[in-house]
A and B are shown apart, each in its own frame.
Chain A
């Protein structure tokens, strides 16, 4: 079946502009996760969703970052007033259930964001 998809695959924007990154999880997966992969910080957790709610937003690096999930499916990560340090690959993952250590997270191909 279809895997996790993300769009756009590449995004180039100017400093100060807002961007929206989209994630389509695997159908039926209730848990959804956002990660960021950058040269300086490696792979870091941003936020997760169980259904439409995000119980833990502590991984978001600043209040310019926000995310939502609607209908228990598609999620959007929004970065306002982008800065050059926001340049990174943003990865989305989904899993069938939440909190179980045996669960497997399936990752999308990522969105490469470049802020000029």
Chain B
């Protein structure tokens, strides 16, 4: 079965410093991986997705993630945090069930201080 593990429940950074949100996946085949963001009282928004093309994936708002098969990782990064980045981030894998069933990690809450 496919699964993802988000290694940190909370990450705190200062505005202007780099962001690293860690995700490891488990999959018996080449996975499709996603990062979604959820701002308070808002719906989930897709940040970026990996679908076996380029291993370095660029998303919205300056975020990017690198697929590393040897490490089974898909960490999310951003060079410089902004106050508006404070939100919950979910690493997601698509299960191979004949349809796109999304399996979510437990989430990482990003806190950004001035």
Contact = CB atoms under 8 A, between A and B. Distances in A.
A103 to B, nearest CB: 6
B27 to A, nearest CB: 11
Interface string B3-42: 0000000000000000000000000000010001000011
Given A42-B107, A101-B51, A101-B94, 14 more contacts: A3-B43, A4-B43, A42-B105, A91-B44, A98-B99, A99-B98, A99-B99, A99-B100, A101-B100, A104-B46, A104-B49, A105-B100, A109-B43, A110-B43
B45 A48 contact: no
Interface of A: 3-4, 31, 33, 35, 42-45, 48, 50, 55-56, 91, 93, 95, 98-110
Contact of B100 (A43, A55, A103, A107): A103
Given A4-B43, A42-B106, A98 B100 contact: yes
B44 A50 contact: no
B101 interface: yes
Contacts of B90: 43
Contacts of B106: 42
Given A56-B99, A101-B51, A107 B104 contact: no
A14 B51 CA distance: 44
A35 B67 CA distance: 26
6 contacts: A35-B102, A44-B104, A45-B101, A104-B46, A106-B46, A107-B45
Interface residues of B, number: 24
B57 interface: no
Contacts of B32: 101-102
Contact of A107 (B44, B49, B97, B98): B44
A95 B100 contact: yes
B103 interface: yes
Given A42-B107, A102-B51, A104-B49, A91 B43 contact: yes
